[in-house]
Amino acid sequence: MSEHKPRKSSEPKPPRAFGWMAEYADEHDLLVAARKVRDSGYTKTDAFTPFPVHGIDEALGIKPTILPFMVLCAGFTGLCTALLMQWWMNGVDYKYIISAKPFGLTPASIPVAFELTILFSAFTSFLGMIALNQLPKFSNPVFTNARFDRATDDRFFLYVNAADKYYNRESVKELLSGTHPDSLDEVLEDTTPSALPRGIVLTALLLVLAGLIPAMVILNMRASFSDLPRLHVFFDMDFQPKKKAQQPTTIFADARVMRPQVKGTVARGQLDEQDPFYLGYDPSKLSAMNGGQSVFYVATQPPQDGQPADAKPADAAAAPAEPAQKDATPAAPAAQAAGTPAPGAGLNLPWIDKLPIEATEENMKLGKTKFETFCSTCHGYAGYGDGLVHKRADALAQGYWLPPTSMHIDRVRKQPVGQIFHTITKGQGKMASYATVLTPKERWAVVLYVRALQLSRNASVEDVPVESRAQLEPSK
């Protein structure tokens, strides 16, 4: 800001005076002067300092702000608004059950009440501060004095406004000179021309006009028709270097985009390992069982007359799958009447009967972890088929819920380990496959754990090692 002198130009009117401004070198002088001015009864005063000066409010006689009181009132209003609103909405106007909560005011109303209290308070303190300080103030007559620039640097200014009701030009000047200021100037009206420089006006005008261009372009496009593809302002991923199925390509000699399987690799889920470890049954015995047919999924094979339900595979496989099925149909009701076979017992494969992994503590822990992660939700931690999912579905009383099978029913207890492995791998009835989340080894570990669970509920004296039997207590 350049030093301003009243212009001795055509207009003879002298600039208006707004009061006196005294300059001090340190805050102590300022405080002394401010107290003196205050004690003389002036109230329309102000101080400008490079840093906050303690006690300046009191020295200038500024009353404490009412802002805290305003904020308190606003906060209270917010609290009442929130409580009233929630009581009305949820307790009277729209009684809607949410998570079984009672209607009206509950502890759940606290967050909203808290938030509105804070919201109202924050807005009041922000807007109240601005209003009480009469902000925004774009200009102040004190700016006309070039010395005033140092108010943000190392000088302290005291300003007595001419609007004060006791203001008298001469007596204020006398009072202030009595405080030994470094300088004492009358604050004068800014008489620099207020019109904006031409360059700025022209630039602003140009910018405004340029800002209309996009709107005009859009208007023009809406009003006209075109056969051209639409204008791509944002490309997003519309144009990618990619090929779609069945398109030709120049990258490969055979010009095919869809590539055959790479030799020596196996796609996910397509592992066709002919090993009991991956299957749960012995594929080499399969042909003997199903008469050489590669039909793995044989429907329920009811036992032949006089045979027990869990007949040895070799016996059951006496006939090829298809004829067995046909022949069996009439026999089925009779078999059912005899109490066998149970549903789900339909798969008849040369199951392996011995776990392909060791019953080590490590494997047992692995199986326990995986069982409790993936199976217990339905089958329950102890395997009784009473997991959380089951309880929830049961509580909903949906008629079509099929309870998860208990691991402790006779049928599952008698299943060979390979069959349980197969159930986990392929799923069974309503139960989905867990092959994608459990590796074959983890599946075997789960089978090991299921076996342990079964034993824990159904052990006989024979299961206890002979040398430990003495420790058993007789049943009461």
The C-alpha atoms of residue 104 and residue 88 are separated, in whole angstroms, by: 7
Please identify, using beta-carbon distances, which residue of 191 and 428 lies nearer to ligand HEC.
428
Instruction: Record the tokens describing residue 465, joined without a space.
Output: 């090692």
300 binds ligand HEC (CB under 6 A): no
176 binds ligand HEC (CB under 6 A): no
Instruction: Record the tokens describing residue 461, joined without a space.
Output: 């004296």
CB of 99 to ligand HEC, least distance (A): 25
349 binds ligand HEC (CB under 6 A): no
The C-alpha atoms of residue 44 and residue 382 are separated, in whole angstroms, by: 84
Please identify, using beta-carbon distances, which residue of 85 and 431 lies nearer to ligand HEC.
431
281 binds ligand HEC (CB under 6 A): no
Give Cβ neighbours of residue 140 (< 8 Å, ≥ 6 apart): none
The site string for ligand HEC over 401-420 (x = CB under 6 A, - otherwise) reads: -x-xx------x-------x
CB of 427 to ligand HEC, least distance (A): 8
The C-alpha atoms of residue 405 and residue 431 are separated, in whole angstroms, by: 10
Out of 18, 20, 434, 444, the only residue in the binding site for ligand HEC (CB under 6 A) is 434
Q: Is 48 within 8 Å of 159 (Cβ atoms)?
A: yes
Q: Which residue has the tokens 């005899």?
A: 338
Out of 180, 430, 457, 469, the only residue in the binding site for ligand HEC (CB under 6 A) is 430
445 binds ligand HEC (CB under 6 A): no
The site string for ligand HEC over 133-162 (x = CB under 6 A, - otherwise) reads: ------------------------------
The C-alpha atoms of residue 61 and residue 322 are separated, in whole angstroms, by: 107
421 binds ligand HEC (CB under 6 A): no
User: Looking at 41-49, 183-191, 303-311, 374-382, which segment touches ligand HEC (CB under 6 A)?
Assistant: 374-382
457 binds ligand HEC (CB under 6 A): no
Please identify, using beta-carbon distances, which residue of 95 and 391 lies nearer to ligand HEC.
391
Cβ contacts of 375-380, under 8 Å, gap ≥ 24: 375/434, 375/446, 378/404, 378/431, 379/404, 379/405, 379/406, 379/407, 380/404
95 binds ligand HEC (CB under 6 A): no
Please identify, using beta-carbon distances, which residue of 83 and 446 lies nearer to ligand HEC.
446
Counting every residue written for the chain, the total comes to: 476
Please identify, using beta-carbon distances, which residue of 103 and 374 lies nearer to ligand HEC.
374
State which amino acid sits at residue 191.
Answer: T
CB of 278 to ligand HEC, least distance (A): 16
Q: Is 23 within 8 Å of 182 (Cβ atoms)?
A: yes
Instruction: Record the tokens describing residue 336, joined without a space.
Output: 């059912």
Please identify, using beta-carbon distances, which residue of 307 and 428 lies nearer to ligand HEC.
428
Out of 298, 311, 375, 417, the only residue in the binding site for ligand HEC (CB under 6 A) is 375
309 binds ligand HEC (CB under 6 A): no
Please identify, using beta-carbon distances, which residue of 157 and 434 lies nearer to ligand HEC.
434
Q: Scanning residues 70 to 89, which ones bind ligand HEC (CB under 6 A)?
A: none
Please identify, using beta-carbon distances, which residue of 141 and 383 lies nearer to ligand HEC.
383
Rg (CA), the chain: 46
The CA distances from residue 180 to 6, 21, 158, 175, 345, in Å, are 26, 12, 12, 10, 110
User: Looking at 141-149, 213-221, 251-259, 427-435, which segment touches ligand HEC (CB under 6 A)?
Assistant: 427-435
What are the phi and psi torsion angles at 270 (to 5°)?
Answer: -110, 15
Q: Is 460 within 8 Å of 379 (Cβ atoms)?
A: no
Please state whether the peptide bond connecting residue 341 to the residue before it is cis, i.e. omega within 30 degrees of 0: yes
Please state whether the peptide bond connecting residue 276 to the residue before it is cis, i.e. omega within 30 degrees of 0: no
The C-alpha atoms of residue 392 and residue 98 are separated, in whole angstroms, by: 18
Q: Which residue has the tokens 């009233």?
A: 84
Q: Which residues bind ligand HEC (CB under 6 A)?
A: 344, 374-375, 377-379, 389, 402, 404-405, 412, 420, 423-424, 428-431, 434, 446, 450
